[in-house]
Amino acid sequence: MNIDEENTVKMVPTNEINILNPRERNKKKFQVIVNNIANIGLKRPITVSEQRNKKGEKQYNLVCGQGRLEAYIALGEEKIPAIVKNIPEEECFLMSLVENLARRKQLSVEYVKQIGLLSQRGYKSSEIAKKIDANPEYVRGILRLFENGEERLIAAVIKEQIPISTAVEISAAKDDKAQLQNS
């Protein structure tokens, strides 16, 4: 497939689009998207990858544009302009995660969850760090806290109350009193 074919915009049925990595959106912000599209139209098409389901039927995996897709559905539209690419499902999922991470403030609960989700899907901390353009030590530390169920320490790191290195050190402490003193 050449570049021109890959960037061709097609009208895709909204009910054939699978959101691999759904995220929750603030209702006020979502309403702004809906109103914007209703008033001036879609400025940028969504991006999808064409796939076949187990029955051999055509379907699409969403790469980016969940808010725009959901706004179109809310407006009663049955088709949406989309750039259709040929990307394997695992890569679509990864691209969707990276897209979501790029849109967020880096230190957020959602950011940490996305890092954990990439780890659960088999990515090594070094691969995650490279894909999301983050410090490898930070990613390793977050994963260590995530694996140990250290929600309070993760929250303290996100709020910038303690550095990641201190949170990891607290988590590794064998003495419960040490953890209580630092939390």
CA dist 142 and 157 (Å) reads 9
CA dist 51 and 87 (Å) reads 9
Residue 112 is predicted with a pLDDT of 75
18: phi then psi, degrees, rounded to nearest 5:
-100, 125
Please answer whether residues 101 and 93 qualify as being in contact, where contact means their C-beta atoms are separated by less than 8 angstroms. Answer: no
CA dist 156 and 174 (Å) reads 19
Domain that holds residue 76: 1-87
Please answer whether residues 134 and 128 qualify as being in contact, where contact means their C-beta atoms are separated by less than 8 angstroms. Answer: yes
pLDDT tens digit sequence for 85-113:
888 877 877 777 776 655 554 456 677 77
Higher pLDDT pick, 4 / 52: 52
Residue 103 is predicted with a pLDDT of 56
pLDDT tens digit sequence for 54-92:
888 888 989 888 899 999 999 999 999 999 988 887 787
C-alpha angle 21-26-32 in degrees, rounded to nearest 5: 110
- If asked whether residues 79 and 40 sit together in one domain, one would say yes
Higher pLDDT pick, 14 / 107: 14
Residue 116 is predicted with a pLDDT of 83
Higher pLDDT pick, 178 / 156: 156
Whether 94 is covered by a domain: the verdict is no
Instruction: Please give the average per-residue pLDDT across 132-150, as a whole number.
Output: 82
CATH assignment at residue 47: 3.90.1530.10
Higher pLDDT pick, 26 / 80: 80
Give the chain's mean pLDDT. 80
- If asked whether residues 48 and 121 sit together in one domain, one would say no
Point out which residues pair with 81 in neighbouring strands. Answer: 11
Point out which residues pair with 48 in neighbouring strands. Answer: 62, 84
Domain end point (choices 87, 114, 129): 87
Instruction: Please give the average per-residue pLDDT across 33-39, as a whole number.
Output: 89
Domain end point (choices 20, 54, 87): 87
> What does 4-57 look like in DSSP terms, one character per residue?
HHHT-EEEEEGGGEE-SS-----HHHHHHHHHHHHHH--SS-EEEEEEE-TTS-
Instruction: Please give the average per-residue pLDDT across 131-139, as a whole number.
Output: 78
Instruction: Please give the average per-residue pLDDT across 123-151, as a whole number.
Output: 83
Please answer whether residues 112 and 164 qualify as being in contact, where contact means their C-beta atoms are separated by less than 8 angstroms. Answer: no
Interstrand relation of 58-64 and 46-52 (parallel, antiparallel or unpaired): antiparallel
